[in-house]
Amino acid sequence: MLDSLYMFSDAQSVAAVVDDAWTDATNYADLTGGTQGKDAFGNAINIDVFDAKLFLNVRVTTLLAGNALKVALWTDADTTFAGSGTRMAELLVPDAAAVGECYSVGIPSNMTILRYLIVGYETDTSTHMSAGALDCWIGLNPVTPNFIPH
């Protein structure tokens, strides 16, 4: 996790992402002890507030090309990741999403949270990504205008 901001990707390239093979975000969260941190906007978050409404947020930092991209938040008891564990939330970033476009989806508050949180990326069809990078984080607020209510 980047700087305790609940940020999983910071301008992470997704150009090599393929279908049927989840690619893990650069960073993951180890929630041992209910670590408190801040989201990407500086709002305090303690993992114990997962009873409150939180959001998985994505901002495109390099134009996506080649395919739409699935972005999913997972929780797992170990660090094997790559699409394992329990999927908590998912959103779809469209092909040709431009720099600065933002997407959000609500994270259900009634889920069991295991020790680790990770974000994974996978293409929407069998076509591979050819370009793209993004930021991804958990926040107390959705980013707009492409909010997907849960």
What is the Cα 20 distance to its own chain's centre? 17
Q: How confident is the model at residue 1 (pLDDT cuts 50, 70, 90)?
A: very low
Q: What is the pLDDT of residues 35-66, one digit of tens each?
A: 455 555 565 555 555 555 788 999 999 999 88
Structural domains in the chain, CATH included, are 7-148 (2.60.120.1110)
Does the model's pTM come out above 0.75? Answer: yes
DSSP class per residue in the chain: -BTTTTEEEEEEE-TT-BTTB-EE-S--EE-TT--EEE-TTS-EEEGGGGGS-EEEEEEEEEEEESS-EEEEEEEESSS--SS-SEEEEEEEEPTTPPTT-EEEEEEPTTSPP-SEEEEEEEESSSSPP-EEEEEEEEESS--SSEEE--
Residue 147, pLDDT score: 53
